[in-house]
Amino acid sequence: MSGAAKSGARPLPILIVEDDAALREALVDTVRLARYEVLEAVDGEDALAILEKTRVGMVVSDVQMKPMDGHTLLAEVKRRQPYVPVLLMTAYGVIDRAVAAIRLGACDYITKPFEPDVLLQQIVRHMLPAAYGEDDQVVAADPVTQEVLELVRRVAVTDATVLITGESGTGKEVLARTLHRLSHRSAKPFVAINCAAIPENLLESTLFGHEKGAFTGAVTAATGKFEQAEGGTLLLDEISEMPLALQAKLLRVLQEREVERVGGRKPVPVDIRVLATSNRDMAAEAAAGRFREDLYYRLNVFPLHNPPLRERRGDIVPLARRILARGIGGGQASYSLSPEAEASLTAYRWPGNIRELENVMQRAMILASGPSIEAKHLVLPKAVLPKAQNEAPLATPTTQAGIDVGAKEAEPTDIRSLERRHILDTLAAAHGVRRAAAGTLGMSERTLRHKLQQYRREGYPVPAVGGGDDLSD
């Protein structure tokens, strides 16, 4: 059975990008015969135009195309939609180019000519599941977030247990749900339980279920979260808050893959994937004896750290725009951010991460008298909140080349300085690629080039350019 026929949900289409009309037709026919929906693009620009309007499950692209080749298209797709798998095809089996493409984010690289089955095997292996929808996409404009999402995509296709760590409000549960959606278990349940929100005396029966009469008030038998997640994924949110006594029982369940209800005598086998999250340093918790070391190693098969918002500043404005797009109470209004507001958002530390950003944007929508959100509507604290004792100091933004883009101004206060810091930080986050930075900033490359030239004349250090772009013109 083909990958298209395995799920009851309508699969996402596959985008074929090939400038040779005859070969494109052959590729399209091959994929359609396997019962996949197909979209066609004659070149890279055409492909990007399609991706702006339509969600796809995978991009299959030729490398040797003009004016935009497959490697450039790959970089653009990964910048705009980092989740989408990109398979590159080439008639030139050059190993170093293949390795470079995979490092840039290609799911694989195949050499022409190839048998139809080779292509179809790659599609089955890498294509996004039908359950992957528009609302499932995590904002990933910052390269740091894109690296995290690439790890998510790679581990999602396995059944490995994943321990997601990060500060409160960074979106750990969002990553967990994304792991589920990108897995082969996506058609099965995703069950989440907050270990910190359930009283200790109820947590065991909530997790494992109970039989009738097992305790006072157990008037009927009930299945627990493990059984409810059968075939799917169970998320143990804030696992570090689980009592030590219950951790021993959880360890046995993970080892034996069977649960025993409270008051029950017969174990019930379960087929689930387990994910866990924590806002603490789990290794330190285990070393201090507050968390079982053997359980920590059982959960920490694949560690995944979700960075705080201040370490992925390229995501701040896109996240704010998404919040504004929802509007107040479901989106009856349409809002936009002024450049000054964007600069203020990017300059702030966000100790409360995305949760704080949501609150700020909700407040701004209430205060704004029109569709434009200005800096004054944000009501950000004038002084940054004190850092937690275990929080590393905020590093000065630098490029990979080590150029300090914040050396001239320790903490910008006026609007023009905020804008300059925002632009230079965004350029640094884009590794000096002007086109990518301009896209994130929502301005033309010409405008960005003019501002950078102005900053250089004024003596401000501008990050070195990467990706073949040139700031000297």
SS3 453: helix
C-alpha distances (whole Å) from 339 to each of 39, 383, 447 are: 37, 21, 13
DSSP state at residue 11: P
SS3 127: coil
What is the topology classification, in CATH, of domain 143-305?
Rossmann fold (3.40.50)
- Name which residue leads in pLDDT, 347 or 454: 347
C-alpha distances (whole Å) from 9 to each of 30, 191, 262, 328, 470 are: 22, 20, 37, 31, 46
Question: Are 176 and 161 a contacting pair, CB within 8 Å?
Answer: no
What is the topology classification, in CATH, of domain 3-126?
Rossmann fold (3.40.50)
Residue 467 pLDDT exceeds 60: no
- Domains of the chain, by residue range, sit at 3-126, 143-305, 309-377
Same CATH topology for 3-126 and 143-305: the answer is yes
| Contacting residues for 27 by C-beta, under 8 A, at least 6 apart | 16, 18, 60, 119
What's the rounded Cα separation, in Å, for the pair 37 and 219? 51
| The model's pTM | 0.60
- Predicted confidence at residue 316, as pLDDT, reads 94
Orientation of helix 244-256 relative to helix 200-208, angle to 10°: 10
C-alpha distances (whole Å) from 473 to each of 159, 440, 442, 448, 460 are: 50, 21, 21, 12, 17
Please, what is the end-to-end C-alpha distance for the chain in angstroms?
55
- Name which residue leads in pLDDT, 407 or 11: 11
SS3 21: helix
pLDDT digits (tens, 9 = 90+) for 109-159: 888 888 998 899 888 877 876 555 444 467 888 889 988 988 998 899 899
Residue 403's pLDDT band (cuts 50, 70, 90)? very low
- Predicted confidence at residue 416, as pLDDT, reads 66
Say if residue 357 is exposed, middle or buried (CB neighbours under 10 Å; 0-12, 13-18, 19+): buried
Torsion, Cα 206 209 214 217, to 10 degrees, reads: 50
The length of the chain in residues reads 473
Residue 298 pLDDT exceeds 50: yes
Count CB neighbours of 338 within 10 A: 15
Amino acid at 157: V
Residue whose entry in the numeric block shows the structure tokens 């996949």: 36
SS3 237: strand
Residue 5 pLDDT exceeds 60: no
Alpha carbon 133 to chain centroid, angstroms: 14
What is the topology classification, in CATH, of domain 309-377?
Helicase, Ruva Protein; domain 3 (1.10.8)
Residue 328's pLDDT band (cuts 50, 70, 90)? low
Q: Taking residues 176-200, what's their average pLDDT?
A: 88
Residue 96's pLDDT band (cuts 50, 70, 90)? low
Q: What average pLDDT is seen over the chain?
A: 81
What's the rounded Cα separation, in Å, for the pair 392 and 188? 40
Q: Taking residues 34-41, what's their average pLDDT?
A: 92
Strand partners, 90: 111
Tokens standing for 462? Answer: 């501008």
Q: Taking residues 91-118, what's their average pLDDT?
A: 75
SS3 427: helix
